[in-house]
Structure 1
Amino acid sequence: MKSKQQDSDYNSRQPNQKGFDASAPKPWQKAATYVSLVLLGAGVTFSGGYLGSNTLLSSKESTSKVSLSPGVAVAQAQLPLSTDTNFVTEVVDKVGPAVVRINSSRTVTQQLPDAFNDPLFRRFFGAELPTGPQERVERGTGSGFIINTDGQILTNAHVVAGADTVNVILKDGRTFTGKVMGTDPVTDVAIVKIQADNLPTVRLGDSDRLRPGEWAIAIGNPLGLDNTVTTGIISATGRSSSQVGVPDKRVNFIQTDAAINPGNSGGPLLNAKGEVVGMNTAIIRGAQGLGFAIPINTAQRIGNQLATTGNVQHPYLGIQMVKLTPEVKQQINEDSNSRVNISADRGILVVRVMRNSPAANAGLRTGDVIQKINGQLVTDTDTVQQQVERSQVGSSLQMEVLRNGQTINLPVTTAALPTQSE
C-alpha cells in the first residue's frame, strides 16, 4: 500500500515497491509500481492510526445471527429506523457497550550505528555513548468491537500487529488482557480474544447493499477520547485501494464524511439501524470530510478465517502492471531501451513478471497486454486485482493476452501470496 508519515501513536512505516528497471523511471513505470499484484510482504503500521500516501491517517437487510466461531451465534433485536434525530442516541445506547478501547505496546530493539564502535569516536565520546543495542517501548491506542459473547473482537491489524501486550477496556470500565488470534496485513483486519462471557455484541449488516447518502455513525476512541460518537453519511462505496492511496491493500473501501481520527482505527461504522457496515481505518490529513472504512463483509470474511486458522491465504499472480493508454504505448515504443513493442491500444500492460511466480510459470511475459480474465474484459488494474482476490489459491484463471499482435490464451494457476518473511 505508499508514502508514510508518523501519526501520534507510533513511528514505524514501510517503503513502497521498487520500479520496473534500474534506469531512470518513466511515467508509465512509476504507475506500474503504484498498482501491483506482487504484494510481497505487504506491511502494516503499528499504531492507533493508519497511514497511507498523502499522509493517510487512521483510521439493507441483515442476517439475524452473527458468528465468527463455529457453533457460536448471537441474535439481537433490530433497531427501528426513525426520522427523529434521536435515532442516533438509540444506536449509541444499543451498540456503545460493545465498542472497546485497545491499548497495545511492543518493545523495539535498535542497533547502534557502526560509527559508535569506532575507537577514535569513543575516545572523545565514550562516557556518553551507549554500549549495546537500545530498547524502547512503543505504545498505541485503537478501537474494536465485540462480535461474539465469548469475547471475540474485530479490529485493525495495524492496531495490534507485533504487539507484546494487548489490553482491552470495555465501556463499563472492565479491563482484560487480549490475545491476538491472527492478523491479515493485506486487508488490515485482526481478531483479538478476551476471556469473558455474556459480553455485549454488535449486529453486523450487509455492506454490499450500502448506497451513497445513507446515514453513517462512527463510534471509537479518537485521540484517547473514549466513547466518541460522530455522524455523517456514506459518501461513496467501492473506493479502490489505489484511489485511497494504499495500493498494497486488497480492499474496496467505504468513504464517509463521519469524522474519523487517530484512535478510531478498528471501531465500527454503523447504519441508521445500528448495524455495523464497516470498520473505520483511515482519514486523509488536510482533506475535509474524507474518511474510509473496510466493508464489514470483507472484515467478517477475513475474521472468520483468522478465528479458525490464525492466518489468511490470498491468491496472487506475481506481476506488476499498468493500464495501457495511448500515452503509455507511445512512451514505450519510443523508448530506445525498451525490449518490447506494443501494438494494442487498450488493456493491462504487464511491465514485470516476478521470478518463479504463478505468472512466470504460466508463461506470461513482460510486454504482454491482458485483455480478458475468465472471459471478462479488463480495462483497469483494480479489476484484475479483484478478479484474482475473488479466486481461490490453486485455482486456474484463463488469461487472454495480446503478444506481438497475436492473441494467446494462458491458464494461470494462482498461488498463496508470500509473506514478508518468505
Structure 2
Amino acid sequence: MKDYKKIGLTFIVALLGAFVAIWAYTSFFEKPEVITVQQDQAMRYASLPSAPQGEAPDLTYAAENSVHAVVHVKVTSKQEVQQYHSNPFYEWFYGDRNPRQQQPRLRQGAGSGVILSADGFIVTNNHVIDGADDIQVVLNDNRQYEAKLIGTDPTTDIAVLKIEEDDLPHLKFGNSDALKLGEWVLAVGNPFNLTSTVTAGIVSAKSRNIGINRVDMGIESFIQTDAAVNPGNSGGALVNMNGELVGINTAIASRTGSYAGYSFAVPASIVGKVVDDLKQFGQVQRALLGVMIQDVDAKLAEEKDIDVIEGVYIREVNENSAAEEADIESGDIILNVDGVTVNSTAQLQEQISQHRPGDVVKVLIKRDGNSKQIKVTLRNMHGDTEIVKASDNRFLGARFEQLTENEKYQLRISHGLKITDLSKGKLKDAGLKEGFIITDVNKEEVESVNDFKRIVNRADGGILIEGKYSTGEPAYFVFGTK
C-alpha cells in the first residue's frame, strides 16, 4: 500500500514540475513569430488534376512551310451563246425560234494549286481547269504567270500545270497511307478568293467514297477531315504537321455550297502516281485487275454464307483480264494487296491505282474459307501490259482534242473525241467536219487518239464512225482502210 502511495506522489510532483516549466518559459522568454505563407496556385488533388497536362499541337511550322507553295489558279473559258431573232408567227405554231448567230461569253473561275518542284510543275484539280481557254497562276508573293496544261486525269480529278520560273518554293509528298485517324492536318488554299488561307482539323476518316466523281472508271478514296474548306480551296494542299503534302483538297459535304463540317482530299499516294504519269507519258497509265467488286456487309455475308465480314467480294471476273490470267474466281474475297489490308472497294481501288500496267502485285484472297496469296500482273483497259504514251493528236489528216466534262454534260455523252482541225485525208474525204465529235469507231468507244488509232489499225475492211455535232445532231460515216 505504501508503494502505491509513493508512486502516486511521484507522478503528481512530476506533473506539477512540467506546469511550472511551461509557465516559466512563456513568461520570461520571447514568443515565436508565426508566419503565414500565401501560395499563388490553388491546391490540387494528386489523383485528380484540375487541367489537362498536354499542350495544343504547334502547327506554325507546317503552315509557314506550305503557304508559300500554294498558288491561286484563275481560269477563263469561252461559252458559245445561241442568239435568236423573233418570229411571232413561227413561234405561235411551233413554239420555236430560228438561230441568228453565236457570240462567245467569257466565264471566269478560280481555285488553288500546289507547286511540286522548283521549276514550276503545279498540281490542281481537273474540275478547276476543265474547259479553260486561259489559265493564270498567282503566287503567294503576287507574281503572276500564264500556265501551260501538261495533262489531266478526270478519273482521279487531278491535273498538272507548268509555269516558266526557277527556284520556286514547293512541297514534298508525304506518306498519306501512314495518316492516322485523329491526326492533325492543315488545309491551305484560296477560299472565296481569300488568298493564302490556312485552316486546321483532324483526319476524320480514310478511303471515303462519296460518289462525286461520276466519270467512267472514276476513283474515289478520299481523306476526310474537319478542316474548313470552301469554294476556291479545290486543288489546294492538305499537309501534315511536318509540312508535307498528303492530299489535294477536292470536295466538301454541304447542302449550301459552303463548308458544313467535312471536307475531302485525294490522297498523295494517288496524286503522286498520276502526276508522274502525266509528266512522263502525257496520260495516266491505268492498271486494272479486271473484276467487278462490292463491299462485304452483313447482307452479303448472309446471302453468300460468309463467316467473317472482311475484305472485298468479287462478283465477276472479266474475260482476258489480269484476274482471269491469275486464276482469281468470282466469289473470291480479296483481303489485302501487297500486305495492305483492304476492307472496302475504295481501299482496293486506291492500292491498285498506285500501279501501272505490267506491275506485279501480291493479292491475298480467301476462297472456301482458306487464304491464298496470288501474284497478279496488272493490265490496261485493252487487256495488255503496254505503256501508252500520248500521241501528237493527229491522225488521218485531222487533229483532235479530248472533250471536257462540261461538253460531255451538254451533249449527254460519257466519252468522245473532237475534231479541231481537218486537212486532206480519209476523214475529210468521208465528209467529216471540224467540230464533229467521234464517240464510237466500229462500235467501240473512243476517248483518245490512241483509242482511235488502235481500232483503225487492227480493222479488216471498212471503218464505221459514229458521233455528234456540237448541236447534238447525230451522224455516222463509213470509209475503207485501203
**Match for 1:309 among 251, 262, 281?**
281
Q: Distance in 1 between matches of 2:71 and 2:81?
A: 32
Q: Give the Cα–Cα distance (whole angstroms) in 2 for the partners of residues 134 and 355 of structure 1.
A: 49
Q: Deviations over 1:202-258 (max 9, x none)?
A: 34433333233333222211122222222222333x323x25765854353222211
> Deviation of residue 172 (structure 1)?
2.1
> 2:380 corresponds to which residue?
416
**Whole-Å separation in 1 of the counterparts to 2:198 and 2:139:** 16
1:229/1:349 Cα in 2 relative to 1: closer, same or farther (>3 Å)?
A: closer
199-208 vs 160-169, which moves further: 199-208
Q: Distance in 2 between matches of 1:327 and 1:84?
A: 43
- 1:301-380 alignment runs, 5 A limit: 301-323=273-295, 327-328=299-300, 350-351=314-315, 368-372=330-334, 380=344
In structure 2, the CA distance between the partners of 1:110 and 1:328, relative to structure 1 (3 Å rule), is: farther
Q: 1:261 to 1:380 in 2, by over 3 A?
A: closer
Aligned-partner Cα distance in 1 for 2:219–2:264: 14
1:96 aligned residue (32, 43, 67): 67
The code of the aligned residue for 1:316 comes to L
Question: 2:196 aligns to what?
Answer: 227
| AA partner of residue 345 (structure 2) | T
Q: Give distance in 1, aligned partners of 2:104 and 2:211.
A: 34
Confirm or deny that 1:239 pairs with 2:234.
no
Question: TM-score, structure 2 length as denominator?
Answer: 0.54
* Partner of residue 262 from structure 1, selected from 231, 236, 247: 231
Q: Is the 8 A contact 2:313 2:334 kept in 1?
A: no
1:52-131 map, 5 Å: 88-89=59-60, 91-109=62-80, 120-121=90-91, 129-131=98-100
Match of 1:143 among 86, 97, 112: 112
- The residue that corresponds to 2:477 in the other structure is none
Aligned to 2:345: 381
Q: Does 1:393 align with 2:361?
A: no
SS at match of 1:159: helix
| Residue number in structure 2 paired with 1:218 | 187
Of 261, 264, 271 in structure 2, the residue corresponding to residue 289 of structure 1 is 261
Shift in CA distance, 107/318, structure 1 to aligned 2, threshold 3 Å:
farther
SS at match of 2:280: helix
Shift of 1:92: 3.9
C-alpha displacement at 1:260, in angstroms?
A: 0.4
Is the contact made by 1:348 and 1:369 (CA closer than 8 Å) also made in structure 2? no
CA distance in structure 2 between the aligned counterparts of 1:125 and 1:312, rounded to whole angstroms: 47
Assess, with a 3 A threshold, how the Cα gap between structure 1 residues 411 and 109 changes in structure 2: closer, same or farther.
Answer: farther
1:280-327 deviations in Å (ceiling 9; x for gaps): 111100484211222234322321222222211111244433345564
SS of the residue aligned with 2:272?
A: helix
* Residue of structure 1 in register with 2:50 after alignment: none
For 1:185 and 1:219, the matched residues in 2 are separated by 22
In structure 1, runs of 5+ residues without a counterpart are: 1-82, 332-341
Q: How many residues align?
A: 320
Q: Distance in 2 between matches of 1:111 and 1:416?
A: 41
Other-structure match for 1:208 = 177
Deviations along 1:42-61, one digit per CA (max 9) or x if unpaired, are xxxxxxxxxxxxxxxxxxxx
Gaps of 5+ in 2: 1-54, 383-401, 403-414, 417-445, 447-482
Alpha-carbon separation, structure 2, partners of 1:230 and 1:406: 47
The question of whether the paired residues in 1 share the 8 Å contact of 2:301 and 2:307 is answered with: yes
Greater alpha carbon shift after TM alignment, 257-266 vs 139-148: 139-148
User: How far 1:270 sits from its partner (Å)?
Assistant: 2.3
Q: CA deviation at 1:361?
A: 7.8
Partner secondary structure for residue 172 of structure 1 = coil
Q: 1:312 to 1:122 in 2, by over 3 A?
A: farther
Mapped to 1, the partners of 2:144 and 2:169 lie a distance apart of 14
Post-superposition CA distance 1:22-81 (Å, at most 9, x none): xxxxxxxxxxxxxxxxxxxxxxxxxxxxxxxxxxxxxxxxxxxxxxxxxxxxxxxxxxxx
Between 408-417 and 274-283, report the one with greater CA deviation. 408-417
Greater Cα radius of gyration, structure 1 or 2: 2
Q: Hey, what does 1:187 align to over in structure 2?
A: 156
Q: 1:343 to 1:295 in 2, by over 3 A?
A: closer
Change beyond 3 A, Cα 1:322–1:169: same
Higher relative contact order, structure no. (Cα contacts within 8 Å, ≥ 6 residues apart): 1
Would the aligned equivalents of 1:96 and 1:227 in 2 still touch at CA under 8 Å? yes
Q: After alignment, is 380-389 or 198-207 more displaced?
A: 380-389
- 2:242 corresponds in structure 1 to 273
Question: Once the 2 structures are TM-superposed, how far is the Cα of residue 166 of structure 1 from its aligned partner?
Answer: 0.9
Q: In the alignment, what sits opposite 2:270?
A: 298
Report deviation, 1:135. 5.2
> Contact conserved, 2:273 with 2:354, CA < 8 A, in 1?
no
Amino acid at match of 2:168: L
In structure 2, what is the Cα distance between the partners aligned to 1:129 and 1:413?
57
* CA distance, structure 2, for counterparts of residue 379 and residue 121 of structure 1: 59
Normalising by structure 1, what TM-score?
A: 0.61
Asked if 2 retains the 8 angstrom alpha-carbon contact of 1:143 and 1:267, the reply is yes
Q: Kindly provide the CA deviation profile for residues 175-210 of structure 1, in whole angstroms up to 9, marking residues without a partner as x.
A: 211111111222222210011222222344333332
